[in-house]
Amino acid sequence: MPTGSDAAGATATTAGGGDGLFDRVLAFVGALRNGGITATQSEAIDAVRALGEVELLRRSQVREALAACTVSSASDRRTFDDLFDLYFPARRVPRDGDEVDPDLLGGDGEVDDDAFTQALLDALLGGDESAIRRMARQAVDAFGRVEGRDGQPSFFSYKVRRALDPHTLLDTLLEARGATDGDPAVQRLLRDEYEQRLDEFRKEVDAEIRRRAADRSDDLDDVATRVVRPSVDEVDFFRMTATESRELRAQIAPLARKLASRTQVKRRHGRDGRLDVRRTIRRSLATGGVPMDPAFKPRKPHKPELFVITDVSGSVASFARFTLMLVHSLQEQFAKVRSFAFIDTLDEVTALFEGREFDEAIRRMTAEADLVWLDGHSDYGHAFEVFHNTFIDDLTPRATVLILGDARNNYRASSSWVIEEMASRARRVLWLNPEAATYWGTGDSITGDYTRHVEEMVEVRNLRQLTDFVQELT
Amino acid sequence: MSSFASYDDVHDRLGGVGYLTDEPIDTVVWLAQQLGKPILVEGPAGVGKTELAKAVAAARDADLVRLQCYEGLDEAKALYEWNYKKQLLRIQAGSADEGFDDVHDDIFGDDYLLERPLLRALRAERDTVLLIDEVDKVDFEFEALLLEILSDFQVTIPELGTVTGTRRPFVVLTSNNTRELSEALKRRALYLHLDYPSADREAAIVRSRVPEAADALVEQLVRVVRSLRALELRKAPSLSETLDWARTLVELGFEQVDDAALSRTLNVALKYHQDMATATKHLQVSPRPELN
């Protein structure tokens, strides 16, 4: 329902200081572009036209209208929503303290922790989304505040999390619903459902914190650049939150499918191979023996044999995980995929990935494979020597070797002669490094020793770079 | 009944033909009509992308023209083709004193033109919804042809001249996102990402499509399906699977989704053995002996 507090049109003028809706939309489109969404000029025009067709007092309509015109892939939507909240805030952020319900305040005017927790639990149990959101906003006000030096308060989600621990909340919720006994399936479902509600709560806390940050600053465009989170496929493998990691894993399968179909198209559209005499003669019968329409044999696609040698020590584990996952989902695009993992010694792990669920494979890899020799710190030199002793004869000119790791060798010997040997036997040797290229060769990183022998050392820090690389490989 | 009168009209009339919408869908459908732009719908399989076009057609009482895309689809299959056989017959049946020009004018006339879906939608007299299904399957060349048609709603047939649509069809393109569509195509269309519906909406959809199912059953079922979607499965159960599952449970006479119901009917929602194993473990259902 159109209410005053929900009016996007009205707030457009309040938050930015006097500019009209039109200017606000243009500024918003500009922010989208800065955020990495390619909103073209014609899309901006459409967006303005679209606003003429919807009720400006209904914020969600305005949001969906702008999204339909400017966003053109699902992964951009997150950035869009963040920025929309900034440029078209749902309501004015209240000034100090008046956010929290008076019922939840103790006698001294401070927030009563127990009462607040109880109210939050009630909201979560009820499952009404708007109630959960309202509690989230209040929680930010009540617990998230940190007084800055200049007297301006800032808000942080970790403060909220500390005051209202999600795990404790979940346990309390489950207990309240009596889910600790009874049917295990029912328990599981309840747990899933409450986890989703808690997730909703957490998201709204984050959103509220962004809104407050926006409200404090006068320069919206400046806030926009700070607020925009990189899209999931640009998040650094090293700095990934658990949620982002989950989102990313969900993207791997569709991505592999997409890569595979692209490769097939590429292969089909490649030039034809040698003349197919048999089919040409056959066809020529239709034209009285004159071969007017020669037939060619399709070229045999080159399918590389892939040897993936990956460092799975703590520092690069998440990167190794994603690469292994992607490579194994693309198995059909390669003649053969063999995987080797190492920490300070190396073992083949190919069999673990065959027809098994990926998490399981990773778990068994750490449990069963023989990866630690001495102290469990990365030792590239020793791992490569082991590879040389056991597997070097398997490398043929059809093989492509992928080495994954940051080449941080804890000041041990590099044994780069093994790489040289690999390069002479295999078709290509490529190195994927999850570290930013500017840090290569600093500290205990010995990239220099290896780059001399590999065809290329590629910086692969996020899913997008990984995708580009794999696409080039197939 | 023809065009939608207002934003709320979209919601009510789509709901009236059994397609329950949410705000993004209403907005995009309304804008598509008002701005005369195609809709590009993306999303996982089985969330009602194709169904949306059918619902719009039903709600507007319009004809639905469907072009199913596949690799290798070309102009002759999608746009128009000359009826060679008929032309040949006409030439053979022609009298000797007929001049070349007469024959030429005759055999390249409307009678010898085979209309394919795109041309049919362009020349339709009645209100038409054009559904271009799985547009991500077509080749790049064909995408370029689509661009021309979707931006100007006209095509040029060398022998006949330019055919301009009598009225703009309402165009819905669907994509399963197996490849990235060209920027140009995306720019010309309103983008709609259809995702799995929210719990309330999914329950409402199940109730409207499977009215025999008891409320408690629907609620439990939706909860189970949502929990399955959070798992890492090869093929997560979609809205259409939820509906199938609901029908199955009703058919088998289950009053609630308990251990027995799950272990007997989980295979309706999940298509891979691997997924079954994951789900069985997650929900701690007793496994079916015959499936092992």
- The reply to whether residue A359 touches residue B232, judged by beta carbons under 8 angstroms, is yes
Contact A324, A310 (CB under 8 A): yes
Question: Of A42, A185, A249, which has the smallest distance from its Cβ to B285's Cβ?
Answer: A185
Tell me the C-alpha distance between B183 and B186, whole Å: 5
- Cβ contacts of B93 within 8 Å, gap of 6 or more: none
User: Which residues neighbour B172 within 8 Å (Cβ) at sequence distance 6 or greater?
Assistant: B38, B39, B41, B52, B53, B56, B129, B130, B131, B132
Could A188 and B230 be called an inter-chain contact, meaning their C-beta atoms sit closer than 8 Å?
A: no
Q: What is the pTM of this model?
A: 0.74
Q: What is the pLDDT along chain B (292 residues), one digit of tens a residue?
A: 578 888 899 999 999 998 999 889 999 999 999 998 999 999 888 899 999 999 999 999 999 999 999 888 888 888 888 888 888 888 888 777 777 888 888 888 888 889 899 999 988 888 999 999 999 888 878 888 888 888 888 888 888 888 887 788 899 999 987 777 888 888 889 999 998 998 889 999 999 989 998 888 898 899 889 888 888 787 889 999 999 999 999 999 888 888 888 888 888 888 888 888 888 888 877 665 554 4
> Considering only CB atoms, which chain B residues are within 8 Å of A46?
35, 37
A207 pLDDT exceeds 90? no
Pairwise CB contact (< 8 Å): A68 & B191? yes
Determine how β-strand B39-42 pairs with β-strand B113-115.
unpaired
A320 Cβ partners below 8 Å, 6+ apart? A310, A311, A312, A341, A404, A405
pLDDT at residue A2 in the model: 40
pLDDT above 80 for A183? no
- What's the CA angle centered on B138, arms B137 and B140, to 5 degrees? 125
* Shortest Cα distance, chain A CAs vs residue B21, angstroms: 13
The minimum CA-CA distance between A97 and chain B, rounded to whole Å, is 33
Please tell me the distance in Å from A148's CA to the nearest CA on chain B: 39
Nearest-Cα residue of chain B relative to residue A62? B27
Task: Judge whether B241 and B274 are in contact, CB under 8 Å.
Answer: no
Rounded distance, CA B187 to CA A358, Å? Answer: 37
Where is average pLDDT lowest: A66-80, A278-292, A314-328?
A314-328
Q: How far is CA B80 from CA B113, B116, B118, B163, in A?
A: 7, 5, 8, 12
The nearest CA of chain B is from the CA of A55 a distance in Å of 9
How many whole angstroms separate alpha carbon A284 and alpha carbon B262? 62
CB of A1 less than 8 A from some CB of B: no
Q: b/e per residue, B28-66, with b = 16+ CB within 10 A?
A: bbbbbbbbebbbbbbbbebbbbbbbbbbbbbbbebbbbb
Cα separation of B223 and B246, whole Å? Answer: 12
- Chain B nearest-CA residue for A265: B139
Instruction: Please indicate whether, in this complex, the C-beta atoms of B28 and A68 are within 8 angstroms of each other.
Output: yes
Residue A273 backbone dihedrals phi, psi, to 5 degrees: -90, -140
pLDDT at residue A270 greater than cutoff 60: no
A100 band by pLDDT with thresholds 50, 70 and 90: low
Task: Please report residues of A whose CB lies closer than 8 A to that of B179.
Answer: 258, 261-262, 265
Q: Taking the CB of residue B243, how many other CB atoms lie within 10 A of it?
A: 19
Question: A185 and B283: CB-CB below 8 Å?
Answer: yes
Contact (CB<8Å) A53/B31: yes
- Name the average pLDDT for chain A: 78
Task: Tell if the CB–CB gap between B187 and A65 is shorter than 8 Å.
Answer: no
Compute the distance between CA of residue B18 and CA of residue B92 in angstroms, rounded to an integer: 54
ipTM of the complex: 0.86
Going by DSSP bridges, is the β-strand pair B80-82/A153-155 parallel, antiparallel, or unpaired? unpaired
Query: How many angstroms separate the CA of residue B128 from the nearest CA in chain A?
Result: 22
- Tell me which amino acid residue A367 is: A
**A40 interfaces chain B, CB cutoff of 8 Å:** yes
Q: At residue A4, does pLDDT exceed 80?
A: no
